[in-house]
Structure 1
Amino acid sequence: MHTAYRWDADPKAFQLRAVQAQLEGTDMVAQAPTGAGKTALAAGPHLWPGNEKKFTIMVCPLLTLEEEMCETFVTDFGLQAVALNSKNEACSPSLTSCSIKDILSYKYQIILVSPEMLQSRMFTNCILRNTRFMKDIISLFIDEAHCIVLWGTDFRKKYGTLGKVRAFLPRGTPVVAVSATLTPRVVRAIWASLHFAHSNTQSRYQNEGNDRPNVSIIVRACEHPLNTFADLAFAIPTNLQAITDIPKTYIYVDNIATGGEIIDYLNHRIDQNSSIATASEQVRASFRGIVRPFNATLSHRYRTLAMSHFCDGKIRILVCTDTAGMGCNIPDIDRVIQWKLSATFSHFIQHAGCAARGRGRTGVAVLLVERSAYNINIFNSGSTTKSTSVSHSKGKGKGNKRVDPVTDPPKEKREQADVRDYVLAHGLLRGESQGVDAIPNGAQPLLCEDSADEGLLVFVQSISCRCAVWARVFDNPYPLTPTVPCCDICVPSLFDRTRPPPLPPECRARNLKRGKPDLAVRDTLRTWRKAMFKTHHASAQYDETSILDDDLILVLVSHGSLNTQQALNLIQDKWPFHHMYADEL
């Protein structure tokens, strides 16, 4: 492998063990950090004498990842690879598909498919039932194997039935499942779903951990109202001279519409930057389009072009969904920001793993969470743990049952003072504009191994090293040897890289009392709306209410006297034209 792949170092031990397992016909589950070289696990067996013309079926979750992996196998490993999907007419129900003909003539050593394609009638009849061809399979290789658990029960049910494919594999064909995020619960689920118990040999589990010692971790609560996105202000430096002053950044959102609003906000900050406002037209033009969306709803051509421009540095910030994260192979991403709590700890670790993948690089992963994430008291009555002698229950809970704070929140009502004391003791105010970053003085929350969020809330509310929580959840070695400041608990000065600007008191529209609408002002706003429509949208397919609908007008005229910022805070999250017409309104 060292010689054939022209590496400057020998293969890692886990790579050799995974290649050996496939040559021996042994099933394996492997966890290794993002960027650790998991792709080599599928390529390595092809170097064994006699395997040159054999093939591996590789399951990938995303079309973009399939295309990227095809290029990787050709350029990095010298293997011919093909992605079977709708783009190359592989969905043809007959053997007339060029891709199918080429596969059956052993043109390709790596066949990349989605779970749906792998279990389709076409693939089953043309490939899996072809016993003469299938006798030359090396292994069934499942990339991003955590998706079996993450998606297999609802979103993409074919992930949950991958184990059925074993019926078509020759006896002794190994199944290899790899991922960068495997909790013990997920490993057990994968083992059961892929029917490892029915294999001829004892399956193996290779755990290299998933720690990223070159990435600093920062977790803080959003200080400002979420619909202002002011907590993302740090993504755009104050003093901008060139686009390279903005670090290459992924901003992950769970909602595509929210992503669009974030893009508007960041572009607005660029436009309002004092250095840009006074710069030449040529300089201002260079900053246009450097913040872009990236998600599955966009065309393949756009995504390919956007990713190319991001790699080249022409785009500095991609606001994206999971589409951009899985299998990401960009070496120089400086910063990853997760906007609001992700569904599970694995989601965040997958996203954080995109940062600083290149050798010798360092990066930062930021988790900006809702303030409500600190309100959940993880010390449920009845929760106990063998690792501590301190009881956090309030008298009644003396059993040994571990309670999941996500799916089984405490039913008793908590006093307001208790809630306030709890959130402050677990770091709610750390990292805010006032610079109060003292180490939290509450009790360390306890991990529940089978929690629905995989311990993400414990990670957020931790009062000790966040990397220790990370290591505990994914069974990583600890203590670690980081090459950068570890986390905001160990090095609070990291907050200086993500601190939000203070908002003046008048910008807050909290607790504004709603009363009777001012009908005269309503009529004035309708007149203004009509004028805007005639001036700027006369040929549009929509009508004037799209500029500012009656519901938003009713909100504005029912709160008495408002300054500009208060009015914007009331409606801007529901007003698509706020960046265009806010000043005039």
Structure 2
Amino acid sequence: MSVSTTEWTFEKIRALGLRVFKRRLCYPQLQIIQNIQKGLDVIACLPTGAGKTLTFWMPVLMAIEEGSKDAMTFVITPLNLLGKQNEQQLKAANISAISISAANVSDVVLKDVASGVYNVIIVNPEILMSHPGFDKLLSDPKFTSRIQNITFDEGHCISQWGKFRKDYRQVGSLRFKIPESIPFYVATATLPHDILSDIKMTLRFRRDKTVCIRRSNDRPDIQLMVRPLVYPINSFKDLDFLLDFFPKDWKPGDQAPPKFLIFFDDTKEAERACRYLSARLADRFKDKVAYFHSTMSDVYRDDHYRLFFNSLVIGMFCTDAFGMGMDIPDIDFVIQWRAPRDMCTLWQRFGRVARGKDRTGVAIFLVDKKDTDEARHLKEQKLNEKKKKDVKAGAKRKAAEHDHSSSPSKRAALADRTINTNNQPNNPQPPCIDESDAVLIAEHTEMYRRQGLDNPQNKPIRGQSRTVQLGSALDDFINSKTRNECRRKWPNVYFLNNDAHQNDRFLCDSQGCARCKLLQPTVCCDVCHPGEFTQYSVEFVKTPKATARSSVKTLPMDDHAKDLKRALYVWRKDIALKIHSPGIIRAHGNKIVMTEDILNRIIDCARAKKLPSVEALKLETSWRYAEEHGASLLAIVGRFYPPESAVEEGKGRKRAQGRCSQCDQVGHISELQPQLSQTRSGSG
């Protein structure tokens, strides 16, 4: 790190930011930049959309301004797409930068980095910690002397993602590779106590040279709503309210549908939900929704990020691969599908909405019923009723056994031991509290801290859905309505917002900074303003019970079945082009008209001779296009597995006559045998 020759006041830093980025820096940003320039480690927690990214580039710009043209800064990013976004923004400001990932790392790139071609190097932790080229660079004193600081973007990932991205747990070893004078800077919007402690330990922060700058991460411009799922999870019918935003009679000039994100924790679930909604939209809107996750190719992700940014796609079904740090100003609402792993993940995803100036947005959390107080209370009621019945049954059994025997039976003893008639409900819910009750708030703060990230209840068992831990911040947030509490209450406690310094308005500007002003939400949440969220609900309509479909075994694929599958693929491709435009097919694939599950079900039913008609096809597969295209499908199936001839009416198989179990004769049953025997003996 070069020694500064200039006294960088807030006024000078702000003037440089205005000149390069055309943005006025606020007081918390100036604090961060000035402390890094002084050589201090900085941990900063600012709300989403507060301009943390701008603080990444200022220290190196200040060094360049002082004459160190080859000065550079490292930014460690969790997402390659986020790194590319930062690279584009820097190039637009005429700052030399490169985002390095597995796709472009090479000897040529590393040679350019070593020779000072770039002032900003953005890299993911895997490349930085595991690539031998970077190990060599960071061991060169001449190279490291040019590093102004190392920034960890979305710093909470060091703690949260370190469990499955092991190189995040190794980034602290950078302290031993580079001069100790190079400051570390961690930026995030979610920094509860346990994550803060873990980051300090992992990165080996210098105790006497560390500054923590914290502001409330509450977003008054985001309206909060929590709603239990009312339909089966795999049906995705709880998303049907989105259809109202895509009217079938829409025409150019009408109000455009809102832009939205839906977050999932499972990539396949994101794809299925996207196909469900797309199949129900009018043709003009089918290519306006897409899915996005980490298993897609870099080209696909780059293309769809641009499509969404430019509003050519307006609905994205995604995972965290399209989450943290994405700065898209015009997202209207975000939906979280089922409970994520923790409150930090939820708050980061909610923070993608309403990032443009003077915009407001809505954040909707769709939760499993089992995570609500109502469902738990109902389950507990049933359990208590069952226990009461067991107690009564046990008492009756004991009385009966006492009448028959003076010694107690083994069965009665076991029943007496296992039933506890004084059993009290487990995990009683905390009472509704008032904000002034500092003692209870302190207890919750300590409880959240103790739970931490390593609690086994936070980790779902393979094959089972995640259950929200009782007493956690997520649990308190989900059940705020039944406890008559504002949705913002417990997130503020969890993220220590009540302790965050917030009086920046007049420190930032003597006349009062509009950006630093503490805002009060016009519409807060569905607890405080329930009438403002009705358009995001669905009404449960019980459908008539359908006729049960056949139980068909899935057999190993023989050559005949494989030939049918190939023929169905060709047929599906032709049908897809008849139903949808080529653009929609390119975006969603041929699966948009028939999923692999339905196609495989058709093959299984064909082999079992269960598809004699279109009606049978509808019953066995529930394929939505069966009425229109079922006949052509059955023609393909019939070439490989002809259906059995229908049994002529009135000529069904004759029922076999019963035989006597004693004499094996037809015409009578065993109960008549004694009478027959007597008849025979009398006649003799």
Compute the TM-score of the two structures, normalised by the length of structure 1.
Answer: 0.74
Of the candidates 171, 187, 195, which is equivalent to residue 162 of structure 1?
A: 171
1:65 is the counterpart of 2:86? no
1:535 positional shift: 8.0
**Deviations, residues 176-221 of structure 1 (Å, cap 9, x unaligned):** 111111111100110111111xx27331111112111111011110
1:245 positional shift: 3.5
Residues 58-137 of structure 1 aligned to structure 2 (within 5 Å): 58-76=75-93, 78-88=94-104, 90=105, 92=106, 97-137=107-147
Cross-structure match for 1:471: 492
1:18 positional shift: 1.1
Distance in 2 (CA, whole Å) between partners of 1:17 and 1:306 is 36
1:291 positional shift: 0.8
Of the candidates 3, 16, 24, which is equivalent to residue 4 of structure 1?
A: 16
Specify whether residues 200 and 252 from structure 1 end up closer, same or farther in structure 2 by C-alpha distance, changes over 3 A only. Answer: closer
Specify whether residues 545 and 418 from structure 1 end up closer, same or farther in structure 2 by C-alpha distance, changes over 3 A only. Answer: same
Specify whether residues 67 and 414 from structure 1 end up closer, same or farther in structure 2 by C-alpha distance, changes over 3 A only. Answer: farther
Distance in 1 (CA, whole Å) between partners of 2:184 and 2:323 is 24
1:176 is the counterpart of 2:185? yes
Of the candidates 519, 525, 547, which is equivalent to residue 487 of structure 1?
A: 525
1:498 positional shift: 0.7
Cross-structure match for 1:256: 267
Distance in 2 (CA, whole Å) between partners of 1:260 and 1:44 is 40
Distance in 2 (CA, whole Å) between partners of 1:543 and 1:249 is 28
Instruction: Tell whether the 8 Å contact from 2:14 to 2:30 is kept in structure 1 after alignment.
Output: no
Letter of the 1:164 counterpart:
S
Count how many residue pairs are aligned between Structure 1 and Structure 2.
485
Instruction: Tell whether the 8 Å contact from 2:42 to 2:210 is kept in structure 1 after alignment.
Output: yes
Report the secondary structure of 2:40's partner residue: coil
Report the secondary structure of 2:334's partner residue: strand
1:366 positional shift: 0.6
Report the secondary structure of 1:234's partner residue: helix
Letter of the 1:192 counterpart:
M
Distance in 1 (CA, whole Å) between partners of 2:200 and 2:357 is 33
Of the candidates 194, 200, 224, which is equivalent to residue 191 of structure 1?
A: 200
Distance in 1 (CA, whole Å) between partners of 2:479 and 2:297 is 39
1:159 positional shift: 0.5
Cross-structure match for 1:219: 226
Letter of the 1:257 counterpart:
K
Of the candidates 41, 44, 47, which is equivalent to residue 27 of structure 1?
A: 41
Which is higher, the Rg of structure 1 or of structure 2?
2
Report the secondary structure of 2:287's partner residue: coil
Letter of the 2:280 counterpart:
R
Distance in 2 (CA, whole Å) between partners of 1:532 and 1:446 is 61
**Deviations, residues 468-501 of structure 1 (Å, cap 9, x unaligned):** 1111111114997334311111111133131113
Specify whether residues 9 and 70 from structure 1 end up closer, same or farther in structure 2 by C-alpha distance, changes over 3 A only. Answer: closer
Distance in 1 (CA, whole Å) between partners of 2:184 and 2:628 is 60
Specify whether residues 237 and 183 from structure 1 end up closer, same or farther in structure 2 by C-alpha distance, changes over 3 A only. Answer: same
1:106 positional shift: 1.5
Report the secondary structure of 2:541's partner residue: coil
Specify whether residues 416 and 260 from structure 1 end up closer, same or farther in structure 2 by C-alpha distance, changes over 3 A only. Answer: farther
Distance in 2 (CA, whole Å) between partners of 1:101 and 1:208 is 40
Unaligned runs of 5+ in 1: 272-283, 379-411, 427-442, 523-528, 573-577
Instruction: Tell whether the 8 Å contact from 1:27 to 1:201 is kept in structure 2 after alignment.
Output: no
Cross-structure match for 1:546: 600
Residues 73-472 of structure 1 aligned to structure 2 (within 5 Å): 73-76=90-93, 78-88=94-104, 90=105, 92=106, 97-153=107-163, 155-196=164-205, 199=206, 201-237=208-244, 239-240=247-248, 241-242=250-251, 245-271=256-282, 284=283, 286-374=284-372, 448-449=447-448, 450-451=450-451, 452=453, 455-462=473-480, 463=483, 464-472=485-493
Greater relative CO, 1 or 2 (CA 8 Å, sep 6+): 1
Instruction: Tell whether the 8 Å contact from 1:230 to 1:501 is kept in structure 2 after alignment.
Output: no
CA RMSD, 1 decimal: 4.1
Distance in 1 (CA, whole Å) between partners of 2:236 and 2:25 is 45
Specify whether residues 301 and 246 from structure 1 end up closer, same or farther in structure 2 by C-alpha distance, changes over 3 A only. Answer: same
Specify whether residues 544 and 356 from structure 1 end up closer, same or farther in structure 2 by C-alpha distance, changes over 3 A only. Answer: closer
Distance in 2 (CA, whole Å) between partners of 1:458 and 1:202 is 36
Compute the TM-score of the two structures, normalised by the length of structure 2.
Answer: 0.63
1:113 positional shift: 1.1
Instruction: Tell whether the 8 Å contact from 1:59 to 1:142 is kept in structure 2 after alignment.
Output: yes
1:288 positional shift: 2.9
Distance in 2 (CA, whole Å) between partners of 1:50 and 1:531 is 71
Distance in 2 (CA, whole Å) between partners of 1:174 and 1:65 is 23
1:120 positional shift: 2.1
Report the secondary structure of 1:288's partner residue: helix
Specify whether residues 12 and 552 from structure 1 end up closer, same or farther in structure 2 by C-alpha distance, changes over 3 A only. Answer: farther
Distance in 1 (CA, whole Å) between partners of 2:70 and 2:569 is 62
Cross-structure match for 2:53: 39
Report the secondary structure of 1:158's partner residue: helix
1:229 positional shift: 0.9
Report the secondary structure of 1:205's partner residue: strand
Report the secondary structure of 1:481's partner residue: coil
Instruction: Tell whether the 8 Å contact from 1:533 to 1:547 is kept in structure 2 after alignment.
Output: no
Which has the larger displacement, 28-37 or 449-458?
Answer: 449-458
Cross-structure match for 1:498: 536
Report the secondary structure of 1:3's partner residue: helix
Instruction: Tell whether the 8 Å contact from 1:59 to 1:113 is kept in structure 2 after alignment.
Output: yes
Specify whether residues 42 and 538 from structure 1 end up closer, same or farther in structure 2 by C-alpha distance, changes over 3 A only. Answer: closer
Specify whether residues 57 and 535 from structure 1 end up closer, same or farther in structure 2 by C-alpha distance, changes over 3 A only. Answer: closer
Specify whether residues 245 and 414 from structure 1 end up closer, same or farther in structure 2 by C-alpha distance, changes over 3 A only. Answer: farther
Distance in 2 (CA, whole Å) between partners of 1:256 and 1:9 is 37
- Taking only the aligned residue pairs, the percentage that are identical comes to 27
Cross-structure match for 2:462: none
**Deviations, residues 107-164 of structure 1 (Å, cap 9, x unaligned):** 21111111111112423443101111111111111011111111113x1011011110
Distance in 2 (CA, whole Å) between partners of 1:157 and 1:534 is 42
Specify whether residues 19 and 531 from structure 1 end up closer, same or farther in structure 2 by C-alpha distance, changes over 3 A only. Answer: closer
Distance in 2 (CA, whole Å) between partners of 1:370 and 1:3 is 51
Instruction: Tell whether the 8 Å contact from 1:31 to 1:210 is kept in structure 2 after alignment.
Output: yes
Specify whether residues 270 and 26 from structure 1 end up closer, same or farther in structure 2 by C-alpha distance, changes over 3 A only. Answer: same
Distance in 1 (CA, whole Å) between partners of 2:498 and 2:73 is 32
Bigger proportion of residues as helix:
2
1:537 positional shift: 4.4
Instruction: Tell whether the 8 Å contact from 1:46 to 1:54 is kept in structure 2 after alignment.
Output: yes
Report the secondary structure of 1:287's partner residue: helix
Specify whether residues 500 and 176 from structure 1 end up closer, same or farther in structure 2 by C-alpha distance, changes over 3 A only. Answer: same
Instruction: Tell whether the 8 Å contact from 1:134 to 1:169 is kept in structure 2 after alignment.
Output: yes
Distance in 1 (CA, whole Å) between partners of 2:486 and 2:212 is 27
Distance in 2 (CA, whole Å) between partners of 1:374 and 1:231 is 17
**Deviations, residues 48-99 of structure 1 (Å, cap 9, x unaligned):** 32454311111001111111111122224x42111122222x2x4xxxx222
Report the secondary structure of 1:548's partner residue: helix
Distance in 1 (CA, whole Å) between partners of 2:114 and 2:364 is 47
Of the candidates 27, 39, 63, which is equivalent to residue 13 of structure 1?
A: 27
